[in-house]
Amino acid sequence: MGSTARSIRLLGASLLAAAGAQAAGLALEPGLWEASWTISNALTGQQFTETRTQCIRTREFNPRELLRQAQGCRVVSEDQQGNRIQFSLICSLEGGAQTQVDGNFETDGSNGNGQLRTQTRIGGMSVNMDTNVSTRRIGDCPAAQS
C-alpha cells in the first residue's frame, strides 16, 4: 500500500483544502491560507499531521476541475451546493488494489473544515484512513509570492 496509497490520501486532503480555499461562487477574501490535515490510520492507530500555506489570489475556482485532474482516479459523484462540497473518487493502485475516497468540506469564506474517508481494498482486506482538514485565512500574501 505504501507511497501510492499515501499519495492518494494526501491528494484527497489537498482536494479538500483547495476546494475550501477556492470553491466557485463563495464570497472569499484572497490572501494567504493555511491548510492542516490529520490522517488517522484505524489499523495502526497512528496519526500524521501536515500543514501547508498557499497564496490565493482569485475568488473564482471550480473544485470539480481539480477532482477530474486526479490521476488514476475517476469521479464517482460530486456535489457542490453553496459553501459545501461532497465527492467520491475511485482510484486504482499498483498491484490491483482499489481505493475509494469520500470527502466533504464546508467553508464560510475565511475558515473551513472537512472530512475524508479513504478505504483501500487489497484482496479480502480493507483498510480505512480518516482525515480531518481545516483551512483558514492567515493574512495577506507576501509581496514576493506570485
- 53 found inside a domain: yes
Instruction: Write the burial class of residue 22 (CB in 10 Å: 0-12 exposed, 13-18 middle, 19+ buried).
Output: buried
From first to last of its 146 residues, the chain has per-residue pLDDT tens of 454 455 555 566 555 555 544 444 455 678 898 989 898 877 778 898 999 898 888 775 555 565 666 677 888 888 878 778 888 888 887 777 788 989 888 878 788 888 989 888 877 888 888 899 898 999 999 886 44
Which stretches of 59-124 are assigned E, i.e. beta strand? 73-81, 84-92, 98-107, 111-122
What distance lies between CA 86 and its chain's CA centroid? 11
Closest CA to 25 of 85, 100, 99: 85
- 72 found inside a domain: yes
- 89 found inside a domain: yes
Does pTM top 0.85 for this prediction?
Answer: no
Helix (H, G, I), strand (E, B), or coil: what is residue 9? helix
Q: Is the dihedral of CA 71, 102, 98, 94 positive or negative?
A: positive
pLDDT in tens, 107-127: 787 888 889 898 888 778 888
- 93 found inside a domain: yes
- 76 found inside a domain: yes
Domain range for 112: 2-139
Cβ atoms < 10 Å from Cβ of 6: 14
- 144 found inside a domain: no
Cβ atoms < 10 Å from Cβ of 101: 27
Give the number of domains in the chain. Answer: 1
- 63 found inside a domain: yes
- 145 found inside a domain: no
Instruction: Write the burial class of residue 54 (CB in 10 Å: 0-12 exposed, 13-18 middle, 19+ buried).
Output: middle
